[in-house]
Amino acid sequence: MRKRVVITGMGGITPLGHDWASIAARLREGRNAVRRMPEWDYFEALNGRLGCPVDDFEVPRWPRQQLRSMGRVAQLAVAASERALQDAGLYDGTSQDAAAIRDGRMGVAYGSSGGSVEPVRVMGRMLDTGSMQGVTATSYIQMMAHTTAVNVGVFFGLKGRIIPTSSACTSGSQAIGYAYEAIQQGKQTLMLCGGAEELSGPGAAVFDTLFATSTRNDEPQLTPRPFDRRRDGLVVGEGATSLVLEEYEHAKARGATIHAEVIGFGCNSDGNHITQPTRDTMAVAMRLALQDASLPAEAIGYVSAHGTATDRGDVAESQATASVLGAHVPISSMKSYVGHTLGACGALEAWWAVRMMREGWFAPTINLDEIDPDCGELDYIVGSERRFSTEYVMSNNFAFGGINTSLIFRAVD
C-alpha cells in the first residue's frame, strides 16, 4: 500500500528574498531581480551580460570546520535547508533539537548542475602552470557534482539514504520526485530535498555559446520574456530551495503543519538530442504524473511552467502542455522574475506554486506582452495576479539531455 507524502517544511534563498512574505510582495509588484553583471566585463566574448544574483546572502556563523567543505552552492543549499527544517518544526539551530532527525528516518535528495566554480578555477591553473597553490584537501568536495547533497546531510547529521540529483535544470524537481517515491514506498519517513545553484560567468557562457542567453544588456527589467514573441533568451540566476517531505501519518501524529500533499511525479527522457527539447516526450512526462496521481487532465487548475524564454524550449513546452491539459489551463513562468536558477528552479518553482495555491492567487509571467503564435494555446496569466482557488497544481521542468519532470501537488485543509 502506497504511503501518502506531504510537505511540512519549505524554505529558500532567492534573488527576490529569503522568506515568502518578501517574495510574494515582489511578485505582486511585477519587478524582476535581473541586473547587468559588471563582474563579467572581464569575459570579452560573452554576449549576454545579465544575471540574477542573490546579492544579500551572508554566510551564517556556522562552525569553521563545516564551512571548509562548502563552496557557495553548498552554502546556499544548507541555508535553505535550515529554513525548511525550521518551518517543519524539526530544527531550531541547536544540535540537541536536531536529534529527532538523526536516527536514520530522514534522508536527503538534493541537486545542483555542478559544484562550485572557484576550486575548478584553481584546478585549471594547476593544469596550466603545474602549481598546486590553492589546492586544498576540500577542493574536490566543493566542486564535486553531489556537493549539495552530502553537505546538507553532514551538516544536519542525517543518516538516511542520500540521493544526489545533478541533472541541470531538473536537479530540484527530480530531488522532490525521488524523495516522494522513497517515502511513498516506505524506505524513509522523512526526506529533506531540493536544489541549489551559484551564479558564475562560466555558467552563463554555457548558454551563451548556444545563443540561448538574452542580450538585452541595457534593459534588464524587460527580460527574460517567457512565451513572448520578442523573447531573446534566458537569464541565468542563482539560489536554493529546500522542502521537507514527510509520511502523512507521521506528520499528523506530531501535529505538523501540512502545506500540501505530493500526489504525482512523472519523469522520462527524450532519448533524442542533448540540447533540443522534444514536445512528445515532454507530454508523456505530464501524463505519467497524472497517471501517478490518478487524476484526469481537467483537474489541474494551474501550471508552473519551466518557461525559460528560449526559442525552441518555450514552443515545445507550451505545445506539449496544451496537448495534455487543453487550452484553458492557467499557466505562468516564475523565471520571468528570477531568471533560470538551473539546479534550484524545480524546487523554487514548486515552493512558490504551493504557496500561491494555498493563498488562492497566482503571479503572472512578466514581460509577456505578445504571446508567440507558435506557442501552444493556453491561458497565459499576464498583467497582474489572478485570484482563484484550485485543489491541484502542476510544476514542470525540462533539462539538457532531454530529461523531463512533472510534479503534482494537492491542497490539504
* Residues noted as catalytic: 169, 306, 340
List of E strands, 121-259:
162-164, 190-197, 236-237, 239-247
Burial 362-390 (b: 16+ CB within 10 A, else e): bbbbbbbeebbeebbebbbbbeebbeeeb
Residue type, 171: S
CA 30 from chain centre, in angstroms, equals: 20
395 φ, ψ (degrees, to nearest 5): -125, 120
- The bridge status of strand 50-52 relative to strand 106-111 is unpaired
Residues found in the chain? 413
Whether the bond between 224 and the residue before it is cis, its omega within 30 degrees of 0, is yes
CB of 341 closer than 8 Å to CB of 367: no
Please state, as a whole number, how many other Cβ atoms lie within 10 Å of the Cβ of residue 65: 7
The CA distance from 411 to 266, in Å, is: 19
Question: Rounded CA gap, 319 and 138, in Å?
Answer: 45
**Strand bridging mode 330-332 / 392-399:** unpaired
Give the whole-angstrom CA distance, residue 206 versus residue 340. Answer: 13
Apex CA 365: angle with CA 257 and CA 319, to 5°? 100
Phi and psi at residue 174, in whole multiples of 5°? -65, -40
Q: Residue 207: CA atoms inside 13 Å, Cβ hemisphere, count?
A: 32
Under DSSP, is residue 46 helix (H, G, I), strand (E, B) or coil?
coil
Helical residues (DSSP H) of 157-278, grouped into ranges? 171-184, 201-208, 248-253
